[in-house]
Amino acid sequence: MARTALRKVVRPLPKGQVTIPIAIRRALGIDESSLLEVSLEGDRIVISKLGGQPEGAFRVYSDEEVAQFLEEDKLTPEIAERVRALMQAGLV
């Protein structure tokens, strides 16, 4: 079945965000859980709905796993001080 062309004019917000009009979201079945790909093709921006996810492409982490990662990712006070000194000296 051929799709009717839907065209809408939108304006980007200050941070570059655009709203996809509801008629287009409904036609493509796009909701807040959908993944979209944004690409530049010549002088056009192309937004495509990704059809499904390859198995294992994304992992959902539990709150406990996130907390553990954040705890393990903390800098020691010594390293933090060395980084701070390098930043103040303009070396990083």
Dump pLDDT digits (tens) for 53-87.
655 567 788 899 988 988 888 888 888 899 899 99
Quick one: tokens of 19?
């709203």
Closest CA relative to residue 24, chosen from 41, 42, 43, 10:
10
Q: Are both 48 and 64 inside the same structural domain?
A: no
Q: Are both 2 and 46 inside the same structural domain?
A: yes
Put simply, whether the predicted model's pTM sits higher than 0.75 gets the answer: no
Residue 66: which domain range? 60-92
State the total domains in the chain: 2
